[in-house]
Structure 1
């Protein structure tokens, strides 16, 4: 019985304290705190599944041989050549996500992204210090997409990863819906 009385008393005290927090003299001129409405991202054009690029196009434009799609999900695709440390190409689409955050992450990795434009859309590209990885991101309204290419542990001849990403990005922009 004591426990029940103690619980009732504690609950009543907590309710009284909470009620006291909400009451007060409104004549002091303090306006209630009003938050501005959250910004709703406007969806940009649809980049299509896998950036609207086929496996063959990624193989050809990416300059990779014996590449197969390793995975595909709602935001991107990845193609890999056979073997550990082999070349790979990745596409990712980011709806309602700021490209500036991606650029900041790249900068934090010690890279120096450079401004680019693809089909009238601004973005950036960057390469790892050894040139084996390149990321290329293109802004589409409040969205952006990114192509990333890695030469793997044993780079083959055939152009820089950034040049390959540029061709893939141009293809994606040409096919925007």
Structure 2
């Protein structure tokens, strides 16, 4: 008798569930999402911002440096020793510069609106005056030079980041 009741329950459940679908596929299951934005690639800024190791030494003003890493989106150079100076380049395709501006703000650096070679961006100097993040907008892309002078190098790191950004913009393709 239990098997009969189980069979009836399964059949009833199947009928109820089959009535839930519309069958014609014309109804949407939720709100329509907008089509994703397809961004056009901006200009190619070159590997390491099209800046050489010698230019990092000269323009960056941090003496002897070694390129620590290089990949498809960035490069990092460091001087020797603990807490030494460093310079980093990064290129961001299809990424909003505002996210980077928010990141530097959260990390205690007040971004200041700038223009470099007619391109908008920002420079953000840390309160201690030894680290500067400088980002330049290129359509839907941006690149950034970050200079950390460390405890042994004097000067304004934003001046050095700006000079490196100018070189990158001169060599853009």
TM-score computed with the length of structure 1 as normaliser: 0.82
Larger Rg: 2
What's 2:75 paired with? 77
What's 2:136 paired with? 138
Q: Against the structure 1 CA distance between its residues 25 and 40, is the aligned structure 2 distance closer, same or farther, given a 3 Å change threshold?
A: closer
5+ residue gaps, structure 1, are: 1-11
The 5 A counterparts of 1:1-177 are 20-23=19-22, 33-152=31-150, 154-157=151-154, 159-177=155-173
5+ residue gaps, structure 2, are: 1-10
Q: Is the 8 A contact 1:132 1:155 kept in 2?
A: no
Q: Distance in 1 between matches of 2:65 and 2:73?
A: 20
The Cα offsets for residues 58-93 of structure 1, whole Å up to 9 and x where unpaired, read as 110000111111110110000001111110000000
Q: Against the structure 1 CA distance between its residues 82 and 30, is the aligned structure 2 distance closer, same or farther, given a 3 Å change threshold?
A: closer
| SS of equivalent residue, structure 2 residue 68 | strand
What is the alpha-carbon root mean square deviation over aligned residues?
A: 2.9
| SS of equivalent residue, structure 2 residue 110 | coil
Return the offset for 1:30. 8.8
The Cα offsets for residues 120-165 of structure 1, whole Å up to 9 and x where unpaired, read as 110000111101110000000000000000011x2323x2100000
Q: Distance in 1 between matches of 2:78 and 2:101?
A: 25
Q: Against the structure 1 CA distance between its residues 117 and 32, is the aligned structure 2 distance closer, same or farther, given a 3 Å change threshold?
A: same
What's 2:8 paired with? none
The Cα offsets for residues 37-69 of structure 1, whole Å up to 9 and x where unpaired, read as 110121110000000000001110000111111
TM-score computed with the length of structure 2 as normaliser: 0.84
Return the offset for 1:94. 0.4
